[in-house]
Amino acid sequence: MSEAVPSEQWARRSQALGGPSTRGYLLTVLGEFVLPVGGRVWTAALLDALGALGVEERTARQAVWRSAERGLLESERIGRRTRWALSDAARRLLAEGTRRIYSLHREPRPWDGRWLLLFVSVPESQRDLRHRMRTRLGWAGFASLGSGTWVSPWVDREVEAKEVLEDLNLAGAARSFVALPGGIGDVAEMVAATWPLTDIGVAYDAFLERFGAASQPGSSYEAFMQQVRLVHEWRRFPFLDPDLPGDLLPRNWSGYRAAELFHRLHEQWRSAAWAWWTERMEASGPMVSSPGSG
């Protein structure tokens, strides 16, 4: 099977992420409100949170149980109630996701012009392994050049690439190199052919259009709903956007404006959203205090 062209790769990844979903909302709530306060949450609070987002109770319960089956949540019976704790795997997943979500286009980093090249080949017969490798290297900002070659403009991503390859038992067959462009070919053309920046820019424009006209929440309940939807939409971008150096991006890159809007609205809605969540947790059972707003 030949390598997909970049626009096809982006379309497949974007389609796989999909729109609003119960599982996606659950992961957003866990990362945004549960992880920062110790990683424990009552079932009733999760059901209330998902219900506020339009998810029926039966569907919400199924999402919670399926997350437990996947090893993300661990249950604890306290009287007649069930409290859930994030597993170690879930904590790592959500912590890394949080880091990526809040750092994307936050502060543009200087680039020294070097590239990280990664060579690793997985037989086509091992499709599941190929899919997992592509997904995780894509999350790390790598793009495929075909024939088992991956590239990133950030040489420090080698550490993450090594972790991915070791987890998938592929490190022994992989090689990495740090290089500068030679005199053959044009770097800008390579970037345009490798990353679908036009499509990603359109996605950022849609985010700006949706949330740019958002009104101030009239209650803590509305603040919670809008905060979750804001984070849920933004958390898609680290999967789509490789976070390229500014030197490689088009002029007036809309990702910067979208990031500014995200952080501004997140800060505006944070306190009221946490107030609603804290009320739901206190109504469900004892809890730790919410984090400060600083």
Contacts of 100 (CB under 8 A, 6+ apart): 139, 238
pTM: 0.84
pLDDT value for 170 = 94
Q: Give the mean model confidence (pLDDT) for residues 82-93.
A: 93
The pairing of strands 73-78 and 115-119 is: unpaired
pLDDT value for 139 = 84
pLDDT value for 80 = 77
Ordered by start, the domain boundaries in the chain are 1-113+181-294
Q: Give the mean model confidence (pLDDT) for residues 269-273.
A: 97
Secondary structure element (H or E) that encloses residue 274, with its range:
helix 254-284
Mean pLDDT of the chain: 88
Residue 10 pLDDT class (50, 70, 90 cuts): very low
Residue 19 pLDDT class (50, 70, 90 cuts): low
The vertex-69 CA angle with 67 and 72, nearest 5°, equals 45
- Tell me the torsion sign for CA atoms 26, 268, 97, 244: positive
Give the residue among 131, 135, 128, 246 at the shortest CA–CA distance from 197. Answer: 246
Structure tokens at 113: 């012009």
CA distance 60 to 54: 10
CA distance 52 to 118: 44
The vertex-237 CA angle with 233 and 242, nearest 5°, equals 180
Residue 108 pLDDT class (50, 70, 90 cuts): confident
pLDDT value for 290 = 46
Residue 286 pLDDT class (50, 70, 90 cuts): low
Percent of the chain with pLDDT over 90: 74
CB 152 within 8 A of CB 102: no
CATH classification of 1-113+181-294 is 3.30.2090.10, yes or no? Answer: no
How do residues 147-173 score in pLDDT, each as one tens digit? 899 999 999 999 999 999 999 999 988
Identify residue 50 by its one-letter amino acid code.
Answer: L
